Amino acid sequence: MRVLAFLGGAVLTALLLAVARLVAEATSPLPSLDLSNSVDQPVDAVHADVPGSIDVRSSGTAAADARTRRFRAELRAFAADLERTGKMDTRRAREIAIAAVSEAYRHGIPPALVLGVMMVENPDFLSTARSSAGAVGLMQIMPGVWLPELGPRYGWDLTDDRVNIGFGVHILAHYYREADGDWRAALLRYNGCVRGTRTRNCFEYPNWVRRSTERYARTLCGGQGFDGCVVRRLSLEFDRARSSVAN
């Protein structure tokens, strides 16, 4: 009986230690990455060859490891750009960055574009913000239009930043595919600008997003400009996705 008790205690101790290690890993900051050379690297090396639905946890191959490093670099860059706005602390910047970059990779949308849209839609990052038209949250989602379709997948509380970002990036990708790779048309659809009768000058929305991205996504884009950081990457992702479907 003493032997069994000893063994049971040893097993329990081992389990508790394992749980403690998992908690520590989940809550510890990501390892430091040097982004100082990102300005000098070509677009292909930094951004362009990231597929839209990769599993960033994959390992075992050089390509997968490179994608993981790139993902972590963009996560840190996104958080740094958020903090630079002066609208949030480090903790919230990291939480939003994790949600935004993860969804961006899942859907093949450049993280810089997500930040640009977010800064146009909700520059104060108010989770409970509601527009006069009823759009909610960080990326200003219309509940009546999107909750029935996307709620079961992402959640129902659009004031939850992670849920709201999941909706927003999904919608961006949806409209980009519908527009057959026309980023301007996709952004107009995201904004709901069809005839321009509700919002004055809404046809300027793509230009607003472009300027916002260039202004605020400085670490993410690393001096590449909107065309290199967003447009080219969108095109490559769209071509890759279309090619994979054809095959």
**pLDDT tens digits, 29-65:** 333 333 333 333 332 333 333 333 334 444 458 878 8
Instruction: Look up the pTM and report it.
Output: 0.75
**pLDDT tens digits, 163-188:** 999 999 999 999 999 999 999 999 99
| DSSP string for residues in 79-122 | HHHHHHTTSS-HHHHHHHHHHHHHHHHHHT--HHHHHHHHHHH-
User: Do residues 53 and 108 touch, judged by C-beta distance below 8 A?
Assistant: yes
CA 110 to chain centre: 8
Question: What is the Cα–Cα distance from 187 to 172, expressed in whole angstroms?
Answer: 7
Q: Tell me the average pLDDT of the chain.
A: 80
Q: What is the pLDDT of residue 65?
A: 85
pLDDT over threshold 80, residue 17: no
Strand partners, 238: none
Question: What is the Cα–Cα distance from 218 to 159, expressed in whole angstroms?
Answer: 27
Residue 153: band (very low, low, confident or very high) from pLDDT cuts 50, 70, 90? very high
**pLDDT tens digits, 193-203:** 876 656 678 99
Q: What is the pLDDT of residue 151?
A: 97
